[in-house]
Amino acid sequence: MMLPTMALAGEADVVSATATPTGGDRWRIEATVRHADEGWDHYANAFEVLDPQGQVLGVRELLHPHVNEQPFTRSLSGVVIPPETAFITIRAKDSVHEYGGAEFRIDLPAQ
């Protein structure tokens, strides 16, 4: 019996991430995402930066599948993170399951 290919790729996981201050309250976020991209019908299509309350601080849209590049790392610059923020969470989404894969927490230095 054959299963639909959508079910095989699963959810997008953030396997690592870094946050680098770039001046003021702005940060550059690099996220490494793993997903069994299958082409345009099922691929990791974004990652988000969330504050401790779950508010979205930034979104990096991923505009094409990464079938032959797994895991892959992309960055998002200019993310405003208030100085009192203790940590951020990075989560990825795919074009079929949306969110639900492994997230990655980054503890930020006290400012």
Q: Which domains does the chain have, with CATH numbers?
A: 12-107 (2.60.40.10)
Measured CA to CA, the distance from residue 4 to residue 22 in angstroms comes to: 44
The DSSP bridge pattern shows strands 87-94 and 104-107 to be: antiparallel
Number of Cβ atoms within 10 Å of the Cβ of 57? 18
Higher pLDDT, 10 or 23: 23
pLDDT per residue as tens digits for the range 34-90? 887 677 888 788 999 999 999 999 999 987 776 677 798 999 999 999 999 999 999
Instruction: Tell me what pLDDT residue 50 has.
Output: 97
Residue-level pLDDT at 35: 83
Please report which helix (H) or strand (E) contains residue 75, including its range: strand 72-80
pTM: 0.85
